Every structure is written in structure tokens, then in C-alpha cells.
């Protein structure tokens, strides 16, 4: 359906001074969509202009609506020379195409300049009118939901899971075109941002088409990656899982589901891959092990429009997927779940990796039949929901009906089929402690989240293995060959370390495993991270480990192991078996399926695949360093836990998000250090970075938890290593149980400062009275125990929008500062003190007084103590920030640079802060109040001290949602 | 591999401010000083001496970075409230602003009444040598004052309310700045050696009295809130007759003495003998009255306004002090003096003006009267 896009530019504020003489700015705005550009009038001599422009109309077909971003450019009018650019705003129209959306977007957007960062804000409104059109040859795919989350938001229910969708686009990278040598960095950056934005739109449109063909209406677990291949160009890849979802409450689309497609032929589909990490009940029947595949390729230059480039890359990824599929079949599984793809590029060599977990899924899974039954318990569900102990309860639709059966099923989840025990891999299987008739692996590694109904003991914790190898600098074929020779060793080492680290912690399973191999010019680094838990269904290792370690090791070493394991058992409460077994979440549904032990499948470019199993417990190894490595791991601070999944396993109290954080830590290393030094350094750095992180978080809240911790290693230069850590900091929720649905807005509450005790209740949050609100559209309910009160961000769309409508006629009366030159002096001086005449600042004041809530950003797929009411759309932003004055710019803050630093901390700090600000502005303008499943995936800091330049690239994505 | 990172940055979605670190930053402490100070404060963190220094150091740097980024916005506090770059809780915002604008009384005292211009700023190094504070710290204090001065200079309406609104400051702090602005605007001379015994508070209080009664600042609808009512100053010239006409002077004196006597009776504060009780009044009446009336009649010259404080100090406070009066007595005298004048028919038509003058001046004298 084609549509009409209407844009209105209302006002600006806090614009920078563009004319030094008058200390003012003559701003006007350009609105561009596709090839059509409109301009507002110039609003002279003001830093807080009010344009109140007409509606700029664009008639566009929906293909363009999906591909093109709306571009807003703010400029300073200059009579004699070229107008100076102030900054730009890119708006992705996609979320407005959704049927459920109001097709309106309204709010303040930060004006962003790649060289100066945020420079003021612009208030604008975008409206979209769509016309119905049934063109069967259309290329577009409007209205398909893209969800970054690896589990379905609780406001929806999965009706059918169709399968894997993937697509990618290639292009030349403007940064590496010859013309880049001629133009300014700003022009290049803008060309790049425009291109990336457009590619994002096009990619989604194409994936949408595929989903449509498969009969789905949404993509779940959508992952978009930018591969910047430098001279070779740029590749944007997207993978996801096509699903059919329906809103909970009113299942209006009922029964239109194609039952035909649920026939077993599903199994024959090309790639039975699923990118989600949590699944509906009864979908999984057996959970096997993590599988992965790598390949090393040489890059060649991409030429736009050359289909060969596309085909090559397509074949590369397909090979890899085939290989994964092969592993999966070898393990007697019919699907790969928790599937991810990753590329690491250095010069002309690229390492492609794919990772997932082999599993058996129920091909006839069709929760639709269940839907009716569940209808009753839905209401019940919604009430119990988020009472704290229940998390991924999205799937807890099943009733108590089949409790026993479910328990059995959850055990079967881990069963190793008979035929597999004598297969390829030397798997060590043992009877399950819960049922001696069932064989289970002694240790399990998976990439998915811990299924809801699985019983486990104690708490979980993040376990991380790291390994690096130096390599000679090189180019072309020989270099690629060298790298591919290294890969198996790195994989082996990572696995060995992980295995032993899990084991000496007295645990027996690893969930959410994410292993990444990063290629640098003279080094290859592998980091594998997962959350270890002690599953009740698998044999317990803690007791064994102690005895096992007896014979070979010296007594001191043995003592160290024993004491470490003891410490872990205590810290992670692995002893209290019986209590912990009755996991409160055991709402019991059959889920994932059992699996064999964790061998590791590695594979090479040339398809030789090998599977290695490591059974030996480390004491057999007489490598002292190795022992130190294992034993010197620091455990989280007292009462604090960390996980790389949405939940910290074992934390049953209800939690509140304090905030999302990012940490960048960069160290330099010696170009020609040997492997041993490098490895020690790597370990030390990661440990130190973690320590710093805990220290920061615990400054305010001594007891806190980290969820969804993500580690990103970047090798940006040949002697530096960047560690990016993101995650969500949580604290125990101190609020009283949420008994009623009272609408309370909390203001002026003091920040939580629980200085002691685990569950001490800091007196926070004085409940203000119910905010009576005749407009009824305010979202002030249930901000429980938010230590944050009022922030200034204008509240979601509707009220502001309405106010604007009410007041926009008043706008012209505040042109006081533009009229006479005599008055303009005064205006100049008071430029930041906008006088009462302005309709816009009236609105600001009102908003301020109403104490709007903060916009939350979380890497988790839901907000811990609040329910997701609506999923508005996906946000994908590639942000470029650059400076040509690392040292000695106006923005620099010399007092805050470390004595040993290079002076660019301020730059990183600003880039990250501004990225968050851009996200928040988009969220609010779209009518949301939070971003879930936040992920920053392409973070690089490049610095050239000689040139006094620095560049920071950040690709962020997430789901814009409305939470209650 | 290096053990120390050369970039170490922590950024959260919500800006959380450590006010202990913030205060150190405001005092222009170096990161190392701040680190040591915070480490001393934080005792509960047992053991692990090693590495702690680094943790605190990197924490301090992060906090300092936040403050450095926020600083430009603190110059326009209303902007801080509706900007979108930093998500800060309302409470923190308020605290950040009021701490940033907190006045250092010792430092600000030094440039009270001076023109808030570049040349005064250049002379700040003297102040910083005298007060033992860091130069940058003094400069910030000065810049805050100048910024507020410039911002409210041409604004109409109440001076205090303007400051409060545009700088989001608490009322008491707004009053302090109103005083600074007012004193600087009229260039009141506060730096004479004789006045050096007066503190910042004394001037704030006096300015408050002056602003409240001599300007139109309290009424919201005024274009020149800082201007001292010219009509009032003009009318005030006529009080000269109190000293210029001998008859009137004598009558005034007698009435004052009588009133003083009555009061002494009432309060039963009879000293050793009644005569001595009025003796003091009679003896000092001439110089004091000349002083008080002299100041009043010249105030219409802007030069004289500047010397208001030094004048009341030299012509009223000092003579009283040499007579060994205590504050009570000064007050009593001034009360009687004022009331007596009002009873004179020549002053009656001026009674509003007289009241306005003498009441405020009395308050000021009492404020700066110290033993």
C-alpha cells in the first residue's frame, strides 16, 4: 500500500551558537525523503526557534517507505556563503507501518552531528496515511513485526514457528571510496549513516517478504550485523525466525492459521534453525549440545550491482549453515536452536562463525489447539505475572493438568539417545540422579536460555574462558591459511577451560554460551562466555571433583582445588539440594529435550569436521599455569551474582533494574610478546575490567546483580585490545508485593543507598498521591520502587502531541527576539533564558512539573518488574562519531583524563552518552517508554594520535516497547 | 600487556552523581586528591589494598568526566531540566545546581560591590592568594556571579524571583545572589578597610533590606527591578531641615531625649541614675543626627549611594561605638530618633519617605553594629 507521509517541524531548542558576532543562529530545517526536499523558513537570531511549519507531504510507495529513512537537516542560514550544517536527524519510518501503531510520531529529537555530537533538539511530528492496495507483484512487506528479543514479548503469544529467515545486502563503503579523499569527514560520515540506514530498511523489507511467503507475521530473535570489510565494502546481514504471533487477550486472528504448513514437510526445509533462546512449551523435546562452525575467507572488493559478490557471500554462509546442519544430524537432532552468526574481519581475511545448539523439536508443535484451553488461565496468568519469581513466564500457559508428565518431560530433555552413546563422540553418559533409567550427559553446554521448568540447584554464575595466540602479520592466502590452522586449537583451549571452570565450580551445565573468535593483525583472540548452573537432572560434579582430584595431584594443588570448589559450593549455595529442587517456577511444562554430553564440534574451512570430547579433569594436566588460571578466577563479590542470560539462575526475589551500563576498557600490548604473556595479560585485563565494573555498580548498591552481561573484544589496532562490556544492573526489589493495580507515580524519591544487608529496605519512594489525570493517557502507574523519579524527557506521544495541537496557534507571538536589532542584543544575552512567551517552553515547563518517568534501556528481553504492554517496533541505529581534535577541543575535559591515557576518554564517554540519548529520544517519539533487548554489536574506537583524530562506531539495536 | 588501561570509561543510561566526588570537583581537587580522600572515607571495603587505588582513581575520573560534560549546561540550569542528553533524576538535578551555585562567602566577600567585569576577574589571583583557595575555584565563584548578573540585568519583574526561576535555585541562595547582583549593580563600596570587619552575610542582609524597601523589586511588574526609587531619593533631600534649622533641631533633640527617658522608665532599665540615662542621648545627638540626615540628603547622588555603607559606618556606627553603646542602646536611640522626627510637623508630610529611609537604615546599622 502506498502512503502519504506528512512531516511538520515545530520548534527547536538549545541550538548551538553559529554566529560568533551576535552569539545567535539563523536556523532553518530541510526535510528530505527519497529525492524530495522541503525547507522551512529561516527563523532568524534565535537559539530556540519556532517554525510551526506547514505539513510537508511526500507521496511514496511502500517500498520506499520501508527503505528510506526520513532525513531532517538543520542548518544555519548564511546570506553570503554556504549555509552551515548544524546537524541531522534520521528517522526510521518502519514502526509507523505497523497496523497496530497510531501512524504518528511526535517528539523532540536530538540534532546530531558526527563531528560535534548532539547540538540541540528539534520538535517534529510525522504522520503516515496508508492506502489499501492489493498489488500482488509488490516488493514491499509492510506491517511485519521485527523483534530483537530472543523470546516473545509477553503481550504476544506464538501461534506457529515457521523457521529460519536470512538475508544480506552488500554495498561499497563510502568511507573507503576514492572520493573520501576529497571530502570532509563530516560528509563521509553522513554518507555512511545514510547508507547504513537505508540498507537497514531494505534488509528488513526483504526479510519481511520472506516471512510473508512463509506465512508468518513476525520475525523473532532478529539479529542484524554490519560487517565492515574496509576496502571490500560493507555487508549487512539479518537473520531471524519467522513466526506467527497474536496478541494475548484478544486472539482475533484466531483460526486463520494455516494448519497445512504445520505438516512434517517442515523438517525438510533448508535450515531448521531457530534464533530464539526460549521456546513455547512442548516445542522442544530434547536438548543436545552446542555446535559451531567456522570458516576463513579472503575478501575481494565489492562492486555495487555485481551479483557475483552477493553470490560468493551467500555461498560462504550457506556452507557454514550446511555444516552446522550436518553436526545437528550427526547428533540425531532435527533442529538448531539459539542460533547466531558472527563475522570477524581484519584486513582482507574474514572469520565467519555460526553457533547454535542441536536439539530435537516437535515438528507438530502447534500451541493453537491449546489456545482455547489456555484462554481461561490467561487472566490468571496476567495477574500472577511479574510477581517476581516468575520470569520467562511467557510460555507458562499450560495448566496444572499434566504436571507429572511434564516433570518427566523436563528430564527427558536431557536424555542421550541410546544410539548416540556409541557414536562419533566419546560421550560420557551417566544415569540421571532423578531417574536411573535415563542416561544423561555429565556436562551440558548450550547456547539457549535456561528453560523455565528445569530444576536446578543453587545459583548460577558467569563463566568465561579466554585464549589468545599471537600470529605473524601477513596478507592474502598464506595469512588466511595460518588463521584457519589456529582456529581448532583456540576452540579446543576455550572448551577445555570452560569445561574445567564449570566443573570446579561444582556445576554441570552451561547456558547462553556465546563464543567469539576475534581476528587481529598479529593476534587471534577467543572468548567464550556462558552461565553455569547445577542442573538437578545431571550428575553432580562437586563431590566427585574432590575425590577425583585426589590421586594425581600434589597435595597442595589438591587442597587448592578442594577449597576452591568448597568456596563455590558455599557461594552458589549448591548444597541445599532439596529446597532448591522445588523451583518456584516449576509451573511445569515439557520443554527442551535431553542431550548428550558436551563434545565440541569444530570444523575447518575445508569441511573436515572433527568432534573432540574432553573428559579429563584438569589435575591430570601438569601444567601449572593452567591450574593457576582455573583457580585464580575471582568470584563475584559477596551476595552479588552475574549472568549472561535474562535471569540470574537462582535469584528468586524480585528485582528492579537500576540501569543499563556500558564499559569500555582499552589496553595496549606488546607487538612481539609471546603467547604466555599475552594470555596472562588477557586474563588479567578481563578480570580487572570485571572488578572495575563491580566496584562501580556497588558504589551505590552494595548488593547488586548483573544480568545479560555481554563481552565484546575488539582488536582495532595492532597493539591494542578493547573490551566492551554491557549489561543490566539489578538490585533486589524493596517494594511491598504488588497487590493492587493502583496507579502511583513516584516522584522525588531518594536514590537507593542500601549500604548494608542483603534485603535491607532503604526508605525510598514516598508515594505521592494518585496523580489524577483527566487525559487518561498518562502512563504513571506502577513505577514501583523506581529510585529514579522524574526526569525531563517529555512523556510519550499523545499528551505532548495534544498540547501542541492546542497551543500551536500561539507560536507566532514569541518572535520577540527576531524583530528589532535593538532588542536582539538583549535577546542574545538571554538566549538561553527563553521568555514566557514561547508556547513550546510552556509545554516544557508543564512536562517538567508533571515529573515524567525516565526512559529505560535494558539488554534483557523484558523489564524485570514491569509488563510489556505493547511492542512498537525495532530500533537499529548505526552511529558514527568522529573528532579531529582528540586533544584540545572545546569538549575535552582535561581534569578527567587518566595520567597514562591518550586523552580520548572524554570522546568515548560522550559517544556512549549521546548514543543512549538518541535511543531514548526515538523511543519516546514512537510512544514507548523503554527499549528492551538492547544490544550494541559493532563497537569500535579508532584513534590516530598522530593525526589527533578519533572515531567511534556503535551499532545499537533493540525493541521499542511500552511497559506499564 | 599493560596492566593499566589507557581508556577506561563507564557509561550508564541514567547519570548517577556521587556528591562527595562532586564537591571535590567543585573545589577543583585533582583526581589524585579526590581519590585519596574518597578512599579514606570508604572504610567498609576490607582487605584488597592493592588495586584499590586504581579502582577509586578510575571511578573519580568517570565522575569528573560527567561533571565536566554537565558543566556547560549548569550555566543555563533551565536547559539542564529539558535537555535530553543526560538522564538525571529531578532530585539530583536540583542538588547539582544548588551545589554548583553555592557561594563561598569568604571569596565572594572579596569582590562584593566591584564591577563584575574582566578586569576584576583578572585580579582574582589576589583574592585566591588571600583566601588560600585555588584560582579556578575563585574564578568559578566569580563567573557564577557574573553570569547571574548578566542574565537578570535587563529582566523585568522581581529580582529574586528571576534568579530563582532562571537558575533553579533555592530561595535563600537566590537572595544571596540578588544581594551580590544588587551590590555590584550600584557599585556599593564594600572594600574599604574599615568595612573589612563585615562579613558576606552582613552585606546580604543589608542588601535585602535595601532591595525590599528602596526598590520596586517586590512588585512583579517593574521594568527596572534593581533601580532605587528615584522619587524616594529626591524626596529624601528635604529631610535636611532636621539639621539645618536650629529650632527644629532642638525640638527634635528634646523629643528624642524625652522618648528615650519614657522608654527607660517603661523598661525599668534605669541605670545608676536617671540623669545619666538621658545624658548619653543628649551628648551624642548632634553628631549622630548630622550623620543620619547628611547621608539621607545626599543619597540622590549616585556617588553617595556607593558610599552608603561606609557612611553609616563612619557617621553612626563608629561614634556609637566610641561612646561604648551596646546594640540595645543603639536600637533604642534610633527608634526614639525616628519617632521623634515623625512628630515634627515639617517632617509629617514626608513621613512615608522618612519611614522608608530610617527603618531600613536602622536595620542596616544594627546588622553591622558589632562590639
Chain A residue closest to B5 (CA)? A667
User: Which chain B positions have a beta carbon within 8 Å of A908's beta carbon?
Assistant: 7, 9
The better pLDDT of the pair B36, A903 is held by B36
Tell me the pLDDT tens digit for each residue of A46-73. 999 999 999 999 998 878 888 899 999 9
Residue ranges of alpha helices (H) inside A177-305 are: 185-214
Percent over 90 (pLDDT), chain A: 30
CA distance B290 to B299: 14
**How far is the alpha carbon of B206 from chain A, nearest alpha carbon, in Å?**
29
A365-396 residue pLDDT tens: 655 444 444 444 443 333 333 333 333 333 33
Question: B231 by DSSP, 3-state: which?
Answer: helix
Whether A776 shows a pLDDT value over 80: the answer reads: no
Residue of B nearest to A110 (CA): B84
Name the nearest CA neighbour of A637 among A681, A680, A685, A692: A692
- Cβ-based contacts of A895 with chain B (< 8 Å): 25, 30-31, 64, 68
Q: Are A175 and A192 in contact (CB under 8 A)?
A: yes
When pLDDT is averaged across residues A159-182 and rounded to a whole number, the result is: 84
Cβ-nearest to A913 among B8, B58, B86: B86
Question: Residue A506 has what pLDDT?
Answer: 85
Q: Which residue of B has its CA nearest to A830?
A: B151
Which range, of A712-716, A735-739, A847-851, averages the lowest pLDDT? A847-851
B151 contact residues in A (CB cutoff 8 A): 829-830, 833
Left if phi > 0, otherwise alpha if psi is -120 to 50, otherwise beta: which for A683? Answer: alpha
Interface of A with B in 206-235 (CB under 8 A): none
Rounded to two decimals, the pTM is 0.83
Q: Could A751 and B82 be called an inter-chain contact, meaning their C-beta atoms sit closer than 8 Å?
A: no
For residue A695, which residues of chain B lie inside 8 Å, CB to CB?
Answer: 55, 59
Longest dimension (CA), chain A: 94
Residues of A in contact with B66 (CB under 8 A): 909
Query: Looking at the predicted structure, is the pLDDT value of residue A34 above 80?
Result: yes
CB of A889 within 8 Å of a chain B CB? The answer is no
- Where is A556: in which H helix or E strand? helix A555-571
A908: pLDDT strictly greater than 70 = yes
Decide if A634 touches B, using CB distance below 8 A.
Answer: no
Chain B within 8 Å of A118 (Cβ-Cβ)? yes
Categorize the per-residue pLDDT at A888 as very low, low, confident or very high, splitting at 50, 70 and 90: confident
pLDDT in tens, B195-230: 888 889 999 999 999 988 888 776 666 677 778 888
Distance of alpha carbon A897 from alpha carbon A781, whole angstroms: 42
Contact B7 A661 (CB under 8 A): no
User: Rounded to a whole number, what is the distance in Å from the CA of A63 to chain B's nearest CA?
Assistant: 33
Angle between helices B171-185 and B135-153 (to 10 degrees): 80
B1: nearest CB among A669, A895, A920:
A669
Tell me whether residues A667 and B153 touch, CB distance under 8 A: no
Q: Please report residues of A whose CB lies closer than 8 A to that of B164.
A: none
Torsion of CA A436, A441, A445, A448, to 10 degrees: -40
A812-856: pLDDT as tens digits: 333 333 333 444 444 444 455 544 334 444 444 434 434 468 899
- Interface confidence, given as ipTM, is 0.87
A389 touches chain B (CB under 8 A): no
> Is the CB of A792 less than 8 angstroms away from the CB of B84?
yes
Cell of A949: 583524530
- Taking contacts as CB-CB distances below 8 angstroms, the residues of chain A near B168 are none
Using the CB atoms, write b or e for B5-31: b if 16+ within 10 Å.
bbbbbbbbbbbbbbeebbebbbebbeb
Torsion of the alpha carbons at B171, B175, B180 and B182, rounded to the nearest 10: 130
Amino acid at each position: 500500500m502506498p502512503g502519504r507521509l506528512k512531516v511538520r517541524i515545530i520548534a527547536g531548542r538549545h541550538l548551538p551558537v553559529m554566529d560568533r558576532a551576535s552569539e545567535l543562529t539563523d536556523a532553518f530545517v530541510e526535510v528530505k525523503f527519497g529525492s524530495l526536499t522541503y525547507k522551512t523558513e529561516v527563523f532568524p537570531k534565535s537559539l530556540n526557534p519556532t517554525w510551526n511549519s506547514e505539513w510537508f507531504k511526500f507521496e511514496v510507495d511502500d517500498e520506499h517507505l520501508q527503505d528510506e529513512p526520513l532525513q531532517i537537516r538543520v542548518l544555519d542560514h548564511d546570506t553570503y556563503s554556504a549555509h552551515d550544517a548544524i546537524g541531522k536527524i534520521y528517522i526510521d519510518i518502519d514502526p509507523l507501518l505497523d497496523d497496530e501503531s497510531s501512524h504518528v510520531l511526535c517528539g523532540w529529537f536530538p540534532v546530531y552531528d558526527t563531528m560535534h555530537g548532539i547540538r540541540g533538539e528539534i520538535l517534529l511530528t510525522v504522520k503516515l496515511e496508508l492506502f489499501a492496495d492489493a498489488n500482488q507483484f509488490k516488493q514491499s512487506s509492510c506491517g511485519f513485526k521485527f523483534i530483537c528479543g530472543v523470546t516473545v514479548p509477553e503481550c504476544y503469544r506464538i501461534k506457529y514457528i515457521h523457521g529460519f529467515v536470512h538475508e544480506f545486502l552488500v554495498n561499497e563503503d563510502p568511507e573507503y571510496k576514492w572520493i573520501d579523499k576529497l571530502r570532509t569527514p563530516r560528509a563521509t560520515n553522513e554518507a555512511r549513516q545514510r547508507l547504513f540506514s537505508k540498507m537497514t530498511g531494505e534488509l528488513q523489507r526483504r526479510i519481511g517478504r520472506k516471512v510473508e511467503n512463509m506465512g508468518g507475521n513476525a520475525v523473532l530473535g532478529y539479529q542484524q550485523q554490519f560487517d565492515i570489510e574496509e576496502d571490500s565494502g560493507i555487508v549487512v546481514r539479518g537473520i531471524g525466525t519467522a513466526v506467527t504471533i497474536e496478541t494475548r487477550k484478544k486472539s482475533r486472528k484466531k483460526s486463520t492459521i494455516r494448519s497445512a504448513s504445520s505438516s512434517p514437510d517442515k523438517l525438510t526445509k533448508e535450515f531448521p534453525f531457530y534464533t530464539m533462546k526460549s521456546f513455547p512449551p512442548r516445542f522442544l523435546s530434547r536438548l543436545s549440545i552446542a555446535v559451531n562452525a567456522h570458516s576463513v575467507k579472503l575478501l575481494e572488493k565489492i562492486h555495487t550491482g555485481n551479483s557475483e559478490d552477493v553470490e560468493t557471500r551467500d555461498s560462504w554462509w550457506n556452507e557454514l549453515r550446511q555444516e552446522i546442519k550436518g553436526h545437528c544430524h550427526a547428533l540425531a537432532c532435527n533442529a538448531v536452536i539459539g542460533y547466531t552468526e558472527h563475522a570477524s574481519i581484519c584486513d582482507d581475511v574474514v572469520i565467519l562463525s555460526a553457533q547454535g545448539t542441536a536439539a530435537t523439536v516437535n515438528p507438530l508443535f502447534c500451541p493453537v489447539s491449546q489456545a482455547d484451553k489456555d484462554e481461561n488461565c490467561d487472566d490468571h496468568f496476567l495477574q500472577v505475572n511479574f510477581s517476581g519469581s516468575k520470569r520467562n513466564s511467557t510460555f507458562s500457559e499450560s495448566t496444572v493438568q499434566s504436571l507429572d508428565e511434564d516433570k518427566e518431560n523436563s528430564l527427558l530433555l536431557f536424555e542421550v539417545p541410546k544410539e548416540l552413546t556409541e557414536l562419533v563422540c566419546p560421550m560420557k553418559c551417566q544415569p540421571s540422579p532423578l531417574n536411573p533409567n535415563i542416561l544423561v550427559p555429565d556436562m551440558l553446554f548450550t547456547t539457549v536460555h535456561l528453560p523455565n521448568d528445569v530444576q536446578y540447584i543453587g545459583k548460577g554464575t558467569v563463566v568465561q574462558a579466554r585464549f589468545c595466540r599471537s600470529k605473524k602479520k601477513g596478507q592474502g592466502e598464506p595469512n588466511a591459511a595460518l588463521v584457519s590452522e589456529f582456529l581448532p586449537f583456540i576452540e579446543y583451549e576455550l572448551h577445555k577451560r570452560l569445561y574445567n571452570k564449570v566443573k570446579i565450580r561444582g556445576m554441570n551445565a552451561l547456558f547462553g554460551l556465546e563464543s567469539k573468535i576475534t581476528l587481529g593483525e598479529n593476534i587471534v583472540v577467543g572468548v567464550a562466555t556462558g552461565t553455569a548452573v547445577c542442573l538437578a537432572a545431571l550428575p553432580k560434579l562437586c563431590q566427585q571433583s574432590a575425590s577425583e582430584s585426589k590421586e594425581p595431584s600434589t597435595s597442595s594443588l589438591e587442597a587448592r582445588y578442594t577449597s576452591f570448589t568448597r568456596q563455590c559450593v558455599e557461594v552458589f549455595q549448591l548444597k541445599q539440594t532439596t529446597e532448591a529442587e522445588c523451583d518456584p517456577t516449576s509451573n511445569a511444562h515439557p520443554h527442551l529435550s535431553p542431550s548428550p554430553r558436551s563434545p565440541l564440534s569444530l570444523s575447518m574451512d575445508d569441511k573436515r569436521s572433527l568432534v573432540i570430547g574432553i573428559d579429563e579433569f584438569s589435575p591430570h594436566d601438569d601444567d601449572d599455569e593452567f591450574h593457576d588460571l582455573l583457580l585464580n578466577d575471582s568470584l563475584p563479590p559477596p551476595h552479588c551474582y552475574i549472568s549472561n542470560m535474562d535471569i540470574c539462575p537462582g535469584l528468586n526475589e524480585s528485582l528492579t533494574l537500576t540501569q543499563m551500563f556500558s564499559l569500555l576498557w582499552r589496553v595496549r600490548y606488546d607487538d612481539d610478546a609471546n603467547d604466555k604473556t599475552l594470555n596472562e595479560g588477557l586474563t588479567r585485563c578481563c578480570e580487572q575490567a570485571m572488578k572495575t565494573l563491580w566496584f562501580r555498580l556497588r558504589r551505590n548498591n552494595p548488593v547488586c546483580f548483573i544480568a545479560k552481561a555481554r563481552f565484546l573484544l575488539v582488536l582495532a589496532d595492532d597493539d591494542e585490545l578493547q573490551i566492551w562490556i554491557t549489561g543490566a544492573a539489578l538490585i533486589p526489589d524493596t517494594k511491598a508485593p504488588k497487590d493492587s493495580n493502583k496507579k502511583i507515580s513516584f516522584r522525588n524519591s531518594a536514590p537507593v543507598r542500601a549500604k548494608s544487608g542483603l534485603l535491607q529496605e532503604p526508605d525510598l519512594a514516598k508515594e505521592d498521591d494518585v496523580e489524577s489525570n483527566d487525559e487518561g493517557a498518562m502512563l504513571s502507574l506502577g513505577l514501583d520502587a523506581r529510585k529514579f523519579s522524574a526526569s525531563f524527557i517529555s512523556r510519550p506521544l499523545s499528551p505532548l502531541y495534544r498540547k501542541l495541537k492546542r497551543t500551536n496557534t500561539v507560536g507566532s507571538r514569541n518572535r520577540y527576539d527576531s524583530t528589532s536589532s535593538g532588542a536582539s542584543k538583549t535577546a542574545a544575552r538571554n538566549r538561553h533564558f527563553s521568555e514566557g512567551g514561547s508556547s513550546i517552553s510552556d509545554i516544557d515547563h508543564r512536562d517538567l512539573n508533571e515529573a515524567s518517568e525516565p526512559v529505560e534501556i535494558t539488554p534483557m528481553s523484558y523489564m524485570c518488574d514491569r509488563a510489556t504492554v505493547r511492542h512498537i517496533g525495532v530500533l537499529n541505529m548505526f552511529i558514527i562519531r568522529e573528532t579531529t581534535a582528540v586533544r584540545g577541543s572545546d569538549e575535552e575535559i582535561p581534569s578527567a583524563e587518566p595520567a597514562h591515557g591518550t586523552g580520548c576518554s572524554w570522546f568515548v564517554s560522550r559517544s556512549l552518552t549521546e548514543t543512549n540519548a538518541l535511543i531514548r529520544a526515538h523511543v519516546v517519539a514512537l510512544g514507548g517508554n523503554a527499549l528492551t533487548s538492547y544490544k550494541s554489536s559493532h563497537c569500535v574506537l579508532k584513534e590516530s594520535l598522530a593525526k589527533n583524530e578519533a572515531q567511534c562506531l556503535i551499532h545499537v539495536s533493540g525493541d521499542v516497547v511500552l511497559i506499564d | 600487556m599493560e596492566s593499566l588501561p589507557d581508556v577506561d570509561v563507564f557509561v550508564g543510561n541514567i547519570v548517577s552523581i556521587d556528591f562527595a566526588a562532586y564537591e571535590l570537583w567543585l573545589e577543583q581537587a585533582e583526581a589524585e586528591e579526590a581519590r585519596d580522600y574518597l578512599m579514606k572515607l570508604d572504610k567498609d571495603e576490607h582487605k584488597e589494598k592493592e588495586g584499590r587505588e586504581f579502582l577509586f582513581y578510575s571511578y573519580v575520573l568517570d565522575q569528573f568526566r560527567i561533571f565536566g560534560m554537565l558543566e556547560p549546561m549548569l550555566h543555563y540550569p533551565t536547559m539542564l531540566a529539558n535537555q535530553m542528553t543526560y538522564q538525571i533524576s529531578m532530585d539530583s538535578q536540583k542538588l547539582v545546581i544548588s551545589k554548583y551555585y553555592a557561594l563561598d562567602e569568604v571569596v565572594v566577600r572579596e569582590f562584593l560591590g566591584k564591577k563584575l567585569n574582566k578586569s576584576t576577574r583578572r585580579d582574582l589571583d589576589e583574592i585566591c592568594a588571600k583566601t588560600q583557595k585555588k584560582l579556578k575555584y575563585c574564578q568559578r565563584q566569580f563567573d557564577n556571579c557574573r553570569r547571574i548578573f548578566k542574565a537578570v540585568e535587563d529582566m523585568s519583574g522581581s529580582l529574586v524571583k528571576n534568579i530563582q526561576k532562571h537558575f533553579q535555585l533555592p530561595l535563600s541562595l537566590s537572595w544571596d545572589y540578588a544581594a551580590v547582583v544588587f551590590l555590584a549593580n550600584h557599585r556599593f563600596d564594600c572594600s574599604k578597610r574599615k568595612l573589612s570587619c563585615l562579613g558576606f552575610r552582613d552585606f546580604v542582609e543589608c542588601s535585602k533590606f535595601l532591595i525590599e524597601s528602596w526598590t520596586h523589586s517586590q512588585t512583579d511588574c517593574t521594568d527596572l527591578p534593581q533601580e532605587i526609587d528615584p522619587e524616594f531619593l529626591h524626596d529624601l533631600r528635604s529631610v535636611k531641615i532636621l539639621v539645618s534649622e536650629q529650632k527644629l533641631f532642638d525640638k527634635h533633640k528634646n523629643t528624642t531625649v524625652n522618648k528615650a527617658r519614657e522608654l527607660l522608665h517603661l523598661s525599668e532599665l534605669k541605670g545608676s541614675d536617671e540623669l545619666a540615662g538621658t545624658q548619653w542621648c543628649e551628648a551624642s545627638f548632634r553628631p549622630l543626627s548630622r550623620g543620619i540626615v547628611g547621608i539621607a540628603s545626599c543619597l540622590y547622588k549616585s556617588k553617595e549611594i556607593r558610599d552608603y555603607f561606609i557612611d553609616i559606618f563612619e557617621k553612626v556606627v563608629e561614634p556609637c561605638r566610641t561612646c561604648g553603646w551596646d546594640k540595645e542602646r543603639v536600637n533604642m536611640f534610633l527608634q526614639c530618633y525616628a519617632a521623634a522626627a515623625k512628630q515634627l510637623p515639617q517632617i509629617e508630610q514626608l513621613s512615608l519617605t522618612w519611614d522608608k529611609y530610617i527603618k531600613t537604615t536602622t536595620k542596616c546599622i544594627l546588622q553591622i553594629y558589632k562590639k
